[in-house]
Structure 1
Amino acid sequence: MSRRYDHARVTEYWQHVWEREGVYETPSGAEAPEDRTYVLGMFPYTSGSLHMGHIRNYAITDAHARYRRMAGDRVLHPMGWDAFGLPAENAAYERDTDPESWTRSCIERMRDDLKEMGFGYDWSREITTCDPEYYQWNQWLFTRFLDNDLVEYDSATVNWCPDCETVLADAQVETDEYEAAHGHTAGGVCWRCGTAVTQRDLDQWFFTITDYADELYDGLDDLEGWPEGVRDSQRNWIGRQEGAGVTFDVDEYGEVSAFTTRLDTVYGATYLALAPGHDLVSELAETDDDVAAYLDEVAGTDDAGLSGVATDLTATHPFTGERIPVYVAAYVLDDVGTGAVMGVPAHNERDHDFAEAHDLPVSQVVEPVDGSGTNLPDDPYTEDGMLTSSGEYDGLASTAARERLLDHDGVEEATTYRLRDWLISRQRYWGTPIPIVHCPDCGAVPVPDEDLPVELPAYVQTTGNPLDAAEEWKATTCPDCGGEATRETDTMDTFVDSSWYFLRFLSPHFDDAPFDQQTADQWLPVDVYVGGEEHAVLHLLYIRFFTRALADLGLLDEREPVERLINQGTVLHSGEKMSKSAGNAVAPHEYGAETTRLFVLSAAHPAQDFEWTVKDVSTAYEFQQDIYGMVSDFVDQRTRRHRSQEARPVRTESEPHDAYLEREIDRTIAAVTEEYDRFRFHRVVGELQRFARLLRRYERYEPPYLFAYSRGLRVLTKLLAPIAPYLAEELWHLLEADGLVAEADWPESLRDVSDYRIERGLVRTTLADVRDITEVVDISDPERIELVVAEDWKYEAYRTAQSADPDAAIVGEIMADESMQAHGDAAADYAADLADRSKGLEPIVDGERELDVLAQAAWLFEDEFGAEVTVRRASEDDDLAKKARPNKPAIHIS
């Protein structure tokens, strides 16, 4: 039998067996039991081939799904394709083909790649978002949202990517890259292609996600299974601010409300600034040439900085009655707050910069409580403090002043949000057609359910939006009046497709609705969802909105879609993110499924980045070869014995040292199970490597106890199965175990190993202490090692110190026990030592257990040092008894 594992030889066979046996299928419509587990990786965009980021994501979900299946859960682990989107349209254009043909070919390649990697998906539930059978439900949901006032059609200034020739939602404009290139955040770049974004006015379709702003914000507190970074990103994006609206009376116009979070600074307002898009500014532009010229100057500009223009208007300060100038200022944003800002240069950095640029007064109204100075007027003072020059409110602390000032006329509590409604219109072909007909008489009319789906016409290459050029497809009749009408030519943002796909997986062939509600209510929320942190806002906020909206439409009971979210880190190569564009990509198939999976899961915690190195990949490869070699050698020796051929001897009766292996098998089961539960696959691999080394060492020490050794190999195989399924299945077959390891029960400990960490630590530190002694004393060939376990009274004293109140007199508590007093000065000295390190006392096992653990592990000392080993309890007249402490035996080497 070959001692080398040939992955290529077994891959196709085990794929066939798993598929034939339906190992990974979860029957549709089956009632979900209490022990159900829904595991999902963010489905991939159909880009052509899998990259290492995909592999890491799906290796995590697959390992967890396989583990939970072996643990007895009914597991749902589906896969599908995020198939719509502009990149496919661009790729088709570059290759002189159509987006659908390109997309379908990509799906075929990627599906084959996923199967080759051994990922255990329920392929009977496969969905593809560009199938009319899927996107008809996008359209159906759109009409339900429209019927329930969750859709708006409005003219709006929108983000436009000139390269992609489409509108972008706010969340699809990245400002970090823009800031890095330009030194400020005014503007941004397209999330997909990196082109600088411009502004346009267009009629657009929106989902009113702002209706859920408070619930989405407050619900983040309950998502304890989500990374805090993702929750913070969503909080920042929603941008809820509690403050006050302050009403200024503007001549010849009326009231203008300005939002502020620092009402305590209101007496310091020296001007009123309006955003270029404010309604009052539009009116002024009709009669004020300077304002009109300024609007032309900043139109479509993302970098107007501190520019602004004075108007001929003044506003009445609601507290002082003074007249203050009104400006149009680019730094005031149309869609933040009310589009109006009370300028307080003394206490706000942006206001201060604008005031300096336009020679406006700076009036201090808050000063430090401790009387320390400020850098005003050169720099603003932005902290809370005590009010000054604020009339009757002088002397109040900022917090108290904000409460009192709310009682003034023209002031009221207000809340603003950064979040804006979700703009879903896209001027492109490869997406879900928005199911609307524009009638000159009836307006925008939804397409009736019976006429869904509105399918895409044949693709024709053209500049701009191909649907706008599809004249025959555009021409239709109005569903209401029957007159001539035109189809909507915008398609939906592809994030609509992915906002509910996890629901379609639950009932992918359901014909009466997007999903079967009973099944959805049984399976939601998704237990584990794995994907990149870059989707914190773009995708994860949208699925939370969709789930709530569907619940309010009576289609779901659950309002949060995901219980536990895991963000996988980045795979790096030479310090950079691995990618085709960087020229540093490594194709998953280059090293084989098992090696690649072992490496990406063992390299780091799932959330951490790691570097791809050939050396570390080789370590993963050699690990699987070591395990395969050990099992194949065992099988070969077993065959020889069955054939009465010469073979290495084995034992059928146990000896004392076998108990160590038997207990270590149980300890390994406990440790690995704990690490699987915590998604620390890198530690799982470390445990398996350590256990494999122990099995090899045990087998070589002396003829192994067949029951213990064969059980160890079977347990190792089971524990390995979620991470390296092909290898584990092959090992399981060689070991002639029943059935498939993918369907085997998770191994259980036969003994109580709740203290396994303590027991392992005891053996490890004792071995290290013996090594240190032999090195320090320079004993190269010890003949005898004696390990002496402490007397019982020391364990009693230790536990008394452990349980004592931190402020208690520990020596007194210990010595108050008559049994301790019998040990005189030795007990008092030991009690004093415990008191000195009371905050660092680690958990221990009792003396009898320590004696057993060390006795069982004695063969490890004999094997390493070639010496006779004795393990015993200390006696009171024993010189070594003074040195022995709980879980720290005295050591004598001769």
Structure 2
Amino acid sequence: MQRQDTYDHAAIESKWQERWADADVYRTSDDATDPSYVLAMFPYPSGDLHMGHVRNYTITDAYARYQRLQGEDVLHPMGWDSFGLPAENAAIEREINPREWTMDCIDTMKTQMQSMGFGYDWNREITTCEPDYYRWNQWLFKRFYEEGLAERKGGEVNWCPSCETVLADEQVEGEAELCWRCGTPVESRTLDQWFLTITDYADELLDGIDELDEWPDSVRGMQRNWIGRQEGTTVEFEVPEFGGIEVFTTRLDTIYGATFFALAPGHELTQELIADDPELATQVETLDPDADGDEKRGVFTGEYAINPATGEEIPVYVADFVLSDVGTGALMGVPGHDQRDHEFATEYDIDIEQVVAPADGEVEIDEEAYTGDGVLVDSGEYDGIESAAARDRLVADLDTAANHTQYRLRDWLISRQRYWGTPIPVVHCDECGPVMVPDEELPVELPEFVPTPTGNPLEEVDSFVETECPECGGPAERETDTMDTFMDSSWYFLRFTSPDSEDVPFDTERANDWMPVDEYVGGIEHAIMHLLYSRFVTRAIGDMELLDVREPFEHYLPQGMVQLDGTAMSSSKGNVVSPVEIMDEYGADTARLFVMGAARPSKDFDWTERGVRSSNEFIERLLGMVEAFAADETTTTDAGERPIDEYVAREIDATIDEASAGYENFRFNDALREARGLVSLLRRYREQATPDEHTFERGLHTAVRLFAPVTPHVTEECWTALGEDGFVAAADWPEAAHDADHEAERQLVANTREDVRHILDVANIEEPAAIEVVVAPEWKHRALDVAIASDEDVVGSVMADEELRERGEAAADYAKDLAERHQSLTEALTPAAEFAALERATWLFEREFDAEIRLERASDAPDDVARTATPGRPAIEIHEG
């Protein structure tokens, strides 16, 4: 059932969206100097916004609006990551063109984004499946090729049999090694593919992580682990008749314990051995490098390798746990000191020998490998040497040993066997080999879609495949692989700086001025692939002298998930809440206020109907309060100097300071809590006394601007009702009128109210007649200052003060108390400031406790009451009626 609001959110929101569009409020001038660049990861156009989108895009929109209110030029663009296999599969399923499906989805999502009031500069909209964008993917690919950063090579690749395409290592998920898109188990195949040699930048990318001090530590750690730099040693094991086979190890000190040698199924020597041995080939085919499980399987080749340290022969196996693209694809098996090798040796009855012993005891290696450093044993001339020193000596002594650094990171495989992606601008000629398409012939455009049940649809389009060689003019065939869609997103943030550029992918001068992105927001699932590729491409482009910036994103914020009953929303789980339904029933501002107020952006939170209703009711109260004041329905005075007026005025200032800090540091929930508290205070102010007109009006103006980044439509309505010209979206951020220690004043009042509540509760007083509040004497403030300034001897420092020493036993007792709390002592307000702060807040005490409040200085109060007062903690005496 449609609920009846007290305000027409649909009319208000559509009105202001039209006015913003007519005035081009969110357009960024090309002449802007270093605007605040605020960017959310652009979406894949799947058809409808979901709550994750709403949260992600409200985060950047709120921050962009806050920056505008601060007087900053702001670049806040939006586009579409519109290539990819899901669109191709959806098109095949619906028997339509992927482009048609994609553009329909974009139209739907754009309409919904505009309905949410997101303040994007739509003049900069980019769509990666448009030729005017992917032309520059092709242009950049050619520059990479010219710089030696793109190459075509064969090798084992990850193949998804369901998607029928190659996957990068980063797109293979979990121990079960499943396709990131469809969840199908991934297979290994050997194919010729195009790679970008990101490994050339491994050290630079790794070292650069230290400079990303505004990224979460967890994300920086994920990038470090993925690059995976390891310092170790390469050394060769001779296999008679086949030569030396290189291995990489971080534990050369264990080489005397190498009792077997293992090859990956795809290793060059393995291929050579099985080529002449059909029976061995059949056995190797049964090995599954992608198998999920703890069992280590292998096949004895009949060959032996020579351990270069011992001169002994050790058996050569092909093992499924050895991977072609990790290390050298071969390893020395040391079962005494590597648990994986231990399990394999146990399975195949291979000797297990201990050659390193812990310095402080013995270990039983028959049951479990000893993997720590220690002292070498049964290692010939190296016995008794510690592991680290032994590694250094062995590198020097073994002829084929050399220090070596290796990485987990592999070159970026960008070839995909699918239609809906950027065509790789290469022509294959029998005479000339792979030839780059000339720049003047770019873009190489996709032909009309020809759906095929399996395989790559491009291979079936003869008019696309058959072409002429750009070099010799002879017959040739176009490359039918298309680019990984991460290529599209690896530089799109640069295109936003000059999206209409026809001669270059982006304007270098403007990109140098506007980059890096100041605030980047998107899912943690992109913490490795997208962010790492973007960092690589940015650096490579810089080395081509097209860009001065080395890192693309200054601050990265991974937003948390929106959950329902503790479970992430998912169509497959049937627990999705539609943003469209929420907008229809409650309005966009309600959805925005709830998602921003529920938790910090990086935290997960639960979507609740109760929370949504509460947000909606609050918006109604705010609008109602403003409209009542604008219609002269709120009685006011021009008093202005009463304690209650001063209290509200200073609370307005405190709220501005705290809310500003919240917005600045992406603690939107804190900022909104402060702003809501101000609205609540204004309501109580109006109920408690006839409010001062200036103070009340300033409070409303402040509250409206504090909410403007999150609830833009209703605050525009409020701004107009308050008689302001122009848009609140373009107004000035409020400024505090008083320079004061608002935090200390607030804490003093809060502590005092809490102490009163505690006494009433303990003494079981239900109807107090009077509450006596006594601030601490000046000498206790002086003692506190002395204690804070002292290094160690607090009591001695306090009693060394002549004025304090005259207080005798009272000063000594207080000094002892200060000494016990020395590490946690903080400065307090002066006695006069304490008294003034409590005097301004007296009305709050009277309102809450319905009793007379007697505020006194220590010098005017009875000694038995005043003696318990300390700085920041007044003495309290309660009198019953």
Task: Normalising by structure 2, report the TM-score.
Answer: 0.96
Q: Please say which of residues 106-115 and 379-388 is displaced more in the overlay.
A: 379-388
Match of 1:770 among 756, 769, 778: 756
The residue type paired with residue 10 of structure 1 is I
Q: Quick check: 2:26–2:119 contact (8 Å CA) kept in 1?
A: yes
State the secondary structure of the residue aligned to 1:888: coil
Residue 127 of structure 1 pairs with residue 99 of structure 2: no
Q: What is the deviation of 1:381?
A: 0.9
State the secondary structure of the residue aligned to 2:637: coil
Corresponding position of 1:356: 346
Corresponding position of 1:892: 877
Q: CA offsets, 1:379-400, max 9 Å, x none?
A: 1111222222222322222233
Going from structure 1 to structure 2, the CA distance change for 1:321 and 1:649 (only over 3 Å counts) comes to closer
Q: What is the deviation of 1:679?
A: 0.5
Corresponding position of 1:270: 259
Corresponding position of 2:12: 10
Corresponding position of 2:409: 419
Alpha-carbon distance between aligned partners in 1 of 2:174 and 2:762, rounded to the nearest angstrom: 60
The share of aligned pairs that are identical, in percent, is 54
Corresponding position of 1:740: 727
Q: What is the deviation of 1:485?
A: 1.2
Corresponding position of 1:797: 783
Corresponding position of 1:844: 828
Alpha-carbon distance between aligned partners in 2 of 1:510 and 1:390, rounded to the nearest angstrom: 67
Going from structure 1 to structure 2, the CA distance change for 1:300 and 1:350 (only over 3 Å counts) comes to closer
The residue type paired with residue 796 of structure 1 is R
Match of 2:538 among 543, 547, 552: 547
Q: What is the deviation of 1:864?
A: 1.6
Residue 450 of structure 1 pairs with residue 440 of structure 2: yes
Q: Quick check: 1:285–1:291 contact (8 Å CA) kept in 2?
A: yes
Q: CA offsets, 1:416-457, max 9 Å, x none?
A: 111111111111111111111111111111110110111111
Q: Please say which of residues 687-696 and 768-777 is displaced more in the overlay.
A: 768-777
Q: What is the deviation of 1:404?
A: 2.9
Q: What is the deviation of 1:402?
A: 2.5
Residue 882 of structure 1 pairs with residue 867 of structure 2: yes
**Structure-to-structure mapping, 1:555-704, within 5 angstroms:** 555-591=546-582, 592-636=587-631, 638=632, 648-704=635-691
Q: What is the deviation of 1:822?
A: 1.2
Q: Quick check: 2:260–2:333 contact (8 Å CA) kept in 1?
A: yes
Going from structure 1 to structure 2, the CA distance change for 1:299 and 1:368 (only over 3 Å counts) comes to closer
State the secondary structure of the residue aligned to 2:397: coil
Q: What is the deviation of 1:634?
A: 1.6
Corresponding position of 1:780: 766
Alpha-carbon distance between aligned partners in 2 of 1:624 and 1:303, rounded to the nearest angstrom: 53
The residue type paired with residue 407 of structure 2 is Y
Corresponding position of 2:201: 212
Match of 2:331 among 321, 328, 341: 341
Corresponding position of 1:223: 212
The residue type paired with residue 273 of structure 1 is A
The residue type paired with residue 743 of structure 1 is A
Corresponding position of 1:403: 392
Corresponding position of 2:366: 377
The residue type paired with residue 192 of structure 1 is R
State the secondary structure of the residue aligned to 1:78: coil
State the secondary structure of the residue aligned to 2:643: coil
Q: What is the deviation of 1:783?
A: 2.7
Alpha-carbon distance between aligned partners in 2 of 1:27 and 1:765, rounded to the nearest angstrom: 50
Q: Quick check: 2:643–2:841 contact (8 Å CA) kept in 1?
A: no
Residue 872 of structure 1 pairs with residue 856 of structure 2: yes
The residue type paired with residue 52 of structure 1 is M
State the secondary structure of the residue aligned to 1:406: helix
Q: Quick check: 1:198–1:302 contact (8 Å CA) kept in 2?
A: no
**Structure-to-structure mapping, 1:14-163, within 5 angstroms:** 14-28=16-30, 30-33=31-34, 36-163=35-162
Residue 281 of structure 1 pairs with residue 270 of structure 2: yes
Q: Quick check: 2:289–2:323 contact (8 Å CA) kept in 1?
A: no
Alpha-carbon distance between aligned partners in 1 of 2:389 and 2:647, rounded to the nearest angstrom: 68
Alpha-carbon distance between aligned partners in 2 of 1:852 and 1:787, rounded to the nearest angstrom: 12
Q: CA offsets, 1:142-167, max 9 Å, x none?
A: 11111111111112221111111111
State the secondary structure of the residue aligned to 1:407: helix
The residue type paired with residue 187 of structure 2 is T
Match of 1:260 among 218, 236, 249: 249
Q: Please say which of residues 273-282 and 697-706 is displaced more in the overlay.
A: 273-282
State the secondary structure of the residue aligned to 2:286: helix
Alpha-carbon distance between aligned partners in 2 of 1:653 and 1:312, rounded to the nearest angstrom: 98
State the secondary structure of the residue aligned to 2:38: strand
Q: What is the deviation of 1:339?
A: 1.1
Q: Please say which of residues 253-262 and 122-131 is displaced more in the overlay.
A: 253-262
Alpha-carbon distance between aligned partners in 2 of 1:253 and 1:792, rounded to the nearest angstrom: 91
Q: Quick check: 1:69–1:75 contact (8 Å CA) kept in 2?
A: yes
Q: Please say which of residues 871-880 and 92-101 is displaced more in the overlay.
A: 871-880
Corresponding position of 1:165: 164
Corresponding position of 2:485: 494
Going from structure 1 to structure 2, the CA distance change for 1:31 and 1:614 (only over 3 Å counts) comes to closer
Match of 2:698 among 694, 697, 711: 711
What value does the CA root-mean-square deviation take over the aligned residues? Answer: 1.6
Alpha-carbon distance between aligned partners in 2 of 1:692 and 1:402, rounded to the nearest angstrom: 69
Going from structure 1 to structure 2, the CA distance change for 1:110 and 1:3 (only over 3 Å counts) comes to closer
Corresponding position of 1:182: none
The residue type paired with residue 280 of structure 2 is V
Q: What is the deviation of 1:299?
A: 6.8
Q: What is the deviation of 1:8?
A: 0.7
Corresponding position of 1:191: 180
Q: Quick check: 2:288–2:320 contact (8 Å CA) kept in 1?
A: no
State the secondary structure of the residue aligned to 2:36: strand
Match of 1:728 among 700, 715, 723: 715
Q: What is the deviation of 1:206?
A: 0.8
State the secondary structure of the residue aligned to 1:657: helix
Corresponding position of 1:183: none
| Runs of 4+ deviating beyond 6 Å | none
Q: Quick check: 1:85–1:431 contact (8 Å CA) kept in 2?
A: yes
Identify unmatched segments of 5+ residues in structure 1: 179-187, 641-646
Alpha-carbon distance between aligned partners in 1 of 2:359 and 2:617, rounded to the nearest angstrom: 67
Q: CA offsets, 1:79-122, max 9 Å, x none?
A: 00011111111111121211111111111110010010011000
Alpha-carbon distance between aligned partners in 2 of 1:109 and 1:97, rounded to the nearest angstrom: 17
Q: Please say which of residues 863-872 and 38-47 is displaced more in the overlay.
A: 863-872
Q: What is the deviation of 1:289?
A: 4.2
Residue 512 of structure 1 pairs with residue 521 of structure 2: no
Match of 1:466 among 451, 457, 464: 457
Q: Quick check: 1:5–1:624 contact (8 Å CA) kept in 2?
A: no
Alpha-carbon distance between aligned partners in 2 of 1:3 and 1:408, rounded to the nearest angstrom: 84
Alpha-carbon distance between aligned partners in 2 of 1:200 and 1:402, rounded to the nearest angstrom: 37
Q: What is the deviation of 1:738?
A: 3.1
The residue type paired with residue 769 of structure 1 is D
State the secondary structure of the residue aligned to 2:57: helix
Alpha-carbon distance between aligned partners in 1 of 2:802 and 2:389, rounded to the nearest angstrom: 61
Q: Quick check: 1:83–1:103 contact (8 Å CA) kept in 2?
A: yes
Q: Please say which of residues 470-479 and 770-779 is displaced more in the overlay.
A: 770-779
The residue type paired with residue 102 of structure 1 is W
Corresponding position of 1:239: 228
The residue type paired with residue 815 of structure 2 is A
Alpha-carbon distance between aligned partners in 1 of 2:560 and 2:82, rounded to the nearest angstrom: 24
The residue type paired with residue 570 of structure 2 is S
Q: Quick check: 2:289–2:320 contact (8 Å CA) kept in 1?
A: no
Corresponding position of 2:743: 757
Q: What is the deviation of 1:601?
A: 0.9
